[in-house]
Amino acid sequence: MKKITIAIDGYSSSGKSTMARELARRIGYVYIDSGAMYRAVTLYALEHGMASPDTGLNAAELVKALPLIHISFKPAGADGVQHTMLDGRDVEGPIRDMEVSRMVSPVAAIPEVREHLVRLQQQFGKERGIVMDGRDIGTTVFPDAELKVFVEASPEERARRRMLEMEQKGEKVDFDEVLANIRERDRIDTTRAVSPLRKADDAHVLDNDGLTREQQMDRLLELYHEAIDTDH
């Protein structure tokens, strides 16, 4: 069967990763979480003294180190989740911590970081048969993707989702703090100079607030079938 490229973009914690991962599993495609790549670079910066909540970010040092940062993905194991690897180490847990979440938007706003990761993402997608989720997949990484979806959900709903995720990991967090972090990231993500978060003109909008997981999946599968039946 024809293989296509599927780009799923949207705001942080909109549920797009869960959706994209499940879609990939159902149709036998490779799933890539591009946000995890920005998070891995941020973790590297934190661990190498190039970023800290107190002193901020040393962008010049981080840009110099980019060729040394090796990011890959370990295929899903028993937990069904693909794990992000940084220099051969499994960092799937640490890249979701609040410290990384706080620093990731400024890191993702550095043009050289974006260029570097976009190139890597395009290499991952060379063979098609891929579902990638992020912020600029339909606009910058794969502007020719045969299927583009833009996921929307309110900040409050996204904060609830994030809280649940963190509580499941045993982290104690405050709702207002999580909501503030989401709003701040939205602001940075939508206003940065390079590849700001925006819906591609040819993307289908999926409003996640009022849909169950099954309904989301039904809609995505419908869009997928439409896309593979269309001559591109």
Under the rule (CB under 6 A), what is the footprint of ligand DC? 12, 34-35, 38-39, 104-105, 108, 134-137, 185, 189
**Comparison of 3 and 102: residue with beta carbon closer to ligand DC:** 102
Q: Least distance in Å: CB of 79 to ligand DC?
A: 18
**Comparison of 111 and 226: residue with beta carbon closer to ligand DC:** 111
Q: Rounded to whole angstroms, what are the CA distances from 199 to 136, 158, 203, 214?
A: 8, 18, 6, 23
**Comparison of 115 and 228: residue with beta carbon closer to ligand DC:** 115
Q: Least distance in Å: CB of 117 to ligand DC?
A: 8
Whether the CA torsion 197, 202, 205, 206 is positive or negative: it is negative
Q: Rounded to whole angstroms, what are the CA distances from 3 to 21, 28, 123, 164, 174?
A: 17, 10, 16, 35, 43
Q: Least distance in Å: CB of 116 to ligand DC?
A: 12
Q: Are residues 25 and 222 in contact, defined by beta-carbon separation less than 8 angstroms?
A: no
**DSSP H helices in the chain:** 16-27, 34-47, 59-65, 98-108, 111-124, 155-168, 175-191, 213-229
Q: Least distance in Å: CB of 15 to ligand DC?
A: 11
Q: Are residues 148 and 224 in contact, defined by beta-carbon separation less than 8 angstroms?
A: no
Q: Least distance in Å: CB of 111 to ligand DC?
A: 12
**Comparison of 175 and 226: residue with beta carbon closer to ligand DC:** 175
**Comparison of 143 and 230: residue with beta carbon closer to ligand DC:** 143
**Comparison of 19 and 108: residue with beta carbon closer to ligand DC:** 108
Say which amino acid occupies 99.
E
Closest to 94 (Cα-Cα) out of 47, 137, 61, 138: 47
Q: Least distance in Å: CB of 136 to ligand DC?
A: 5
Q: Least distance in Å: CB of 105 to ligand DC?
A: 4
**Comparison of 112 and 228: residue with beta carbon closer to ligand DC:** 112
